[in-house]
């Protein structure tokens, strides 16, 4: 029998520990912020999380949950989890749509965590009452809206028309909508040029920016008004695609102009208009491909894009064979003329050179001319990015010998560039140059002694035929030699010596899985270690080593508490973990000492366990 998707027994023990750590109050508070976490906790205790169901595993998450979270509105909420990755979520509330970890996601995470543990969130009567009151208010609002809708639909058409005209006389937005409606209707009923010109006049009116500068708060209203042009252009497209193309070109030109003076930093709403309009332009081109001369029109239009993001490749592809042929001739001429009259970039990125070269190569790729692509890339590669791109191009086509030779050549020119070093490392490891690969791996480890680099260098040593145990010891000896440093206070000529054993502890605990050796290191007097490593080590120690785990947790608490503040999530979690490692008498004594020592921190002491 297979375990269900939301069953932590389906996970290995280490993954289960990580899952519940990622679902801990401390982690959720860090993700959402203290205030949002507190509101989410109240939602969870109110019964607001309903219709909870597990998510099936996918390549993007191992497990997760979805639910409908009730409040003043009802929101569809999801969270999902993958080992070695952060907890993630989504919600259709305003905060969730902006990519924030909202209170609804917090509430779902807490309820899901309780369910995974075989329990449920303890209800809070006050929170339940608030949730019920909010749901009742939402139901009343919905009922009132439905009553109003029925009333409006029962009125006479002439009365509604009179009211609508009165509103339009007072509100420019309503008047703009009526004009757009009129233009769409005229374009639908006739294909005469006069009606198209009328449609163009309305589109220009919709895109006008009378303020001259769009503040962030103005972008939303401008977007809603400007979007009214799409039904008009769609209608013209059905009748005369070439005229619709002209409308799209004119609209893009005006949007680019407005974009130069728009502050869209809050929501990115204004910039959404550009790809929508460009997509409509591509549909016009596909419906009625223009002549080769249209290329000049598009290139001139793309030059006006203030963001430089116009999708020229997609537009040219939609424009048909005549424009594509003209484009191929143009980009080849642009690059060849520039390359003939300019020296090499000498390793420095040059925007003009890069744009011309990329456009030419993209077009050669579009034509499927691999020999010309390779000839141009290899003869003109100069910057580290261009060399790395060339090597990757060869690797994608399994041209391994050329990839090796080019990687070596690039490394001689750019020995400090990480992309070139990575390309050379791939070539060495792929082609069996084990000693050379080991040398690079060791250099990387010494630059950044992470667990991943430590594991990789051990694997490289094994492939190179080294005695892995002896090599491992040499790495540990090197790490030990790097642990001592002097820390000086500002303005003081002398300092204190610090011994930080974090690197060796990380390697031992995360790669070697030798918790005993890691514990020996951290139990030494006068040494420092990364707090996250200490917490992970303490969490992994079995019940038989409660004393050692408690020592580590108390050390962490003493280190963390002086800087802690409301809601004290991190230190309260440490308290709970430490209490789990104590007998009843020790628990009572320590809790009493905490209440006495930190009585001024009332938000901390009130959250301490009773016993």
Q: How does pLDDT run across 559-611, given as a tens digit for each residue?
A: 999 998 888 888 999 999 999 999 999 999 999 999 999 999 988 998 898 87
Read off the tokens for 184: 């769409």
Please choose, from the candidates 34, 19, 125, 18, the residue with its C-alpha nearest in 3D space to the C-alpha of residue 572.
34
Give the integer Cα–Cα distance in Å for 479 and 512: 15
End-to-end CA distance of the chain: 41
- Looking at residue 343, its pLDDT comes to 63
DSSP letters spanning 188-213: HH---HHHHHHHHHHHHHHH--TTSS
In order of 69, 105, 117, 578, the CA distances from 28 in angstroms are 17, 9, 17, 20
Please choose, from the candidates 189, 23, 18, the residue with its C-alpha nearest in 3D space to the C-alpha of residue 110.
23
Is-contact 521 505, C-beta < 8 A?
yes
Q: How many CB atoms are closer than 10 A to CB 190?
A: 13
Domain boundaries, the chain: 8-137, 158-288, 432-481, 541-611
Read off the tokens for 143: 């009922």
Is-contact 81 61, C-beta < 8 A?
yes
**pLDDT category of residue 265 using cuts at 50, 70 and 90:** low
pLDDT digits (tens, 9 = 90+) for 495-516: 678 899 999 999 999 999 999 9
Q: Which position has the token pair 């400007």?
A: 226
**pLDDT category of residue 345 using cuts at 50, 70 and 90:** low
**pLDDT category of residue 2 using cuts at 50, 70 and 90:** very low
Q: Say if residue 394's pLDDT is above 50.
A: yes
Phi first, then psi, for residue 567 (nearest 5°) are -95, 15
Q: Say if residue 280's pLDDT is above 60.
A: yes
Give the integer Cα–Cα distance in Å for 561 and 566: 11
- Looking at residue 181, its pLDDT comes to 82
3-state secondary structure 493-521: CCEEEEEECHHHHHHHHHHCCCHHHHHHH
Is-contact 81 87, C-beta < 8 A?
yes
Q: Say if residue 144's pLDDT is above 70.
A: yes
* Exposed / middle / buried, residue 218 (Cβ in 10 Å: 0-12, 13-18, 19+): middle
- Looking at residue 264, its pLDDT comes to 63
**pLDDT category of residue 489 using cuts at 50, 70 and 90:** low
Q: Say if residue 215's pLDDT is above 70.
A: yes
pLDDT digits (tens, 9 = 90+) for 28-38: 999 998 899 99
């Amino acid at each position: 029998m297979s375990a269900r998707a939301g069953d932590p027994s389906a996970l290995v023990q280490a993954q289960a520990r990580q899952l519940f750590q990622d679902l801990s109050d401390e982690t959720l508070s860090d993700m959402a912020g203290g205030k949002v976490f507190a509101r989410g906790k109240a939602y969870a205790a109110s019964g607001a999380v309903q219709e909870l169901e597990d998510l099936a595993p996918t390549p993007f998450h191992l497990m997760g949950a979805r639910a409908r979270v009730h409040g003043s509105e009802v929101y569809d909420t999801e969270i999902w989890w993958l080992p070695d990755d952060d907890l993630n979520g989504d919600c259709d509330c305003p905060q969730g749509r902006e990519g924030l970890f909202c209170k609804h996601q917090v509430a779902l995470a807490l309820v899901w965590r309780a369910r995974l543990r075989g329990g449920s969130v303890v209800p809070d009567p006050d929170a339940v009452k608030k949730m019920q009151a909010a749901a009742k208010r939402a139901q009343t609002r919905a009922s009132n809206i439905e009553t109003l809708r029925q009333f409006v639909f029962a009125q006479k058409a002439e009365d509604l028309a009179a009211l609508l005209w009165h509103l339009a006389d007072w509100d420019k937005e309503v008047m703009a909508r009526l004009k757009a409606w009129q233009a769409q209707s005229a374009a639908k009923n006739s294909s005469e040029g006069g009606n198209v010109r009328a449609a163009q006049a309305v589109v220009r009116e919709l895109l006008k920016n009378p303020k001259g500068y769009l503040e962030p708060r103005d972008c939303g209203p401008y977007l809603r008004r400007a979007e009214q042009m799409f039904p008009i252009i769609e209608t013209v497209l059905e009748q005369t695609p070439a005229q619709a193309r002209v409308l799209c070109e004119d609209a893009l030109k005006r949007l680019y102009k407005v974009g130069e003076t728009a502050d869209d930093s809050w929501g990115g709403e204004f910039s959404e208009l550009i790809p929508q309009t460009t997509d409509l332009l591509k549909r016009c081109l596909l419906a009625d491909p223009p002549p080769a001369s249209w290329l000049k029109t598009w290139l001139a239009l793309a030059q006006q894009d203030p963001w430089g993001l116009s999708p020229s490749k997609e537009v040219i592809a939609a424009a048909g064979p005549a424009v594509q042929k003209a484009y191929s001739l143009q980009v080849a001429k642009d690059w060849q003329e520039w390359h003939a009259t300019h020296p090499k970039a000498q390793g420095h990125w040059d925007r003009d050179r890069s744009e011309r070269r990329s456009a030419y190569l993209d077009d050669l790729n579009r034509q499927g001319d691999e020999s010309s692509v390779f000839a141009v890339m290899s003869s003109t590669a100069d910057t580290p990015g261009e060399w790395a791109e060339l090597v990757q191009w060869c690797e994608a086509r399994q041209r391994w010998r050329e990839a090796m030779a080019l990687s070596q050549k690039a490394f001689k020119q750019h020995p400090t560039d990480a992309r070139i070093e990575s390309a050379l490392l791939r070539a060495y490891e792929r082609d069996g140059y084990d000693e050379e690969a080991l040398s690079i791996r060791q250099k990387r480890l010494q630059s950044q002694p992470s667990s991943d680099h430590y594991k990789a260098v051990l694997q490289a040593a094994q492939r190179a035929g080294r005695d892995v145990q002896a090599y491992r010891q040499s790495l540990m000896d090197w790490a030990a030699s790097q642990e001592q440093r002097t820390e000086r206070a500002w303005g003081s000529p002398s300092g204190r010596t610090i011994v930080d054993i974090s690197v060796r502890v990380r390697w031992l605990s995360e790669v070697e899985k030798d918790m005993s050796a890691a514990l020996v290191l951290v139990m030494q007097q006068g040494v420092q270690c990364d707090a996250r490593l200490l917490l992970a080590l303490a969490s992994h120690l079995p019940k038989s080593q409660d004393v050692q785990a408690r020592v580590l947790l108390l050390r962490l608490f003493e280190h963390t508490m002086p800087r802690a503040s409301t809601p004290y999530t991190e230190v309260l979690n440490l308290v709970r973990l430490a209490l789990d490692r104590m007998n009843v008498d020790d628990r009572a004594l320590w809790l009493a000492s905490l209440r006495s020592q930190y009585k001024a921190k009332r938000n901390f002491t009130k959250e301490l366990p009773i016993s």
